[in-house]
Amino acid sequence: MSANASTSTRTQPSNMKMLKECTYPYTNIERINEEKQRILVHLNAIKADCNVLAMDVEKSLKLTDSAEKDSIIDFSVSDGE
């Protein structure tokens, strides 16, 4: 066996590994797209949760603001008497 032949047999597994890595996105496109859809559904659920929390915060701030305004009005009425 020549030196050239032994070098090519040593690099062959490395070349095969590189080939598998390069072709992975193309050979597994269905699985990758399924994973993408799963992630998008999860992100949409997180987004919906964030929207609900934002509405709750707005509602609580409105209640707090109106309570503060009511108490200010109450103080001004009680001071005027």
Contacts of 25 (CB under 8 A, 6+ apart): 32
Domain regions of the chain by residue span: 3-80
Q: Taking the model in full, what pTM does it have?
A: 0.51
pLDDT digits (tens, 9 = 90+) for 13-68: 889 999 999 998 889 999 999 999 999 999 999 999 999 999 999 888 887 766 66
Q: What is the pLDDT of residue 4?
A: 54
- Predicted confidence band of residue 81 (pLDDT cuts 50, 70, 90): very low
Q: What is the pLDDT of residue 61?
A: 86
- CA dist 27 and 51 (Å) reads 38
Cα 9 to Cα 1, 3, 17, 19, 21, distances in angstroms: 11, 10, 13, 15, 19
Amino acid at residue number 1: M
Note whether 9 and 16 are within 8 A (CB): no
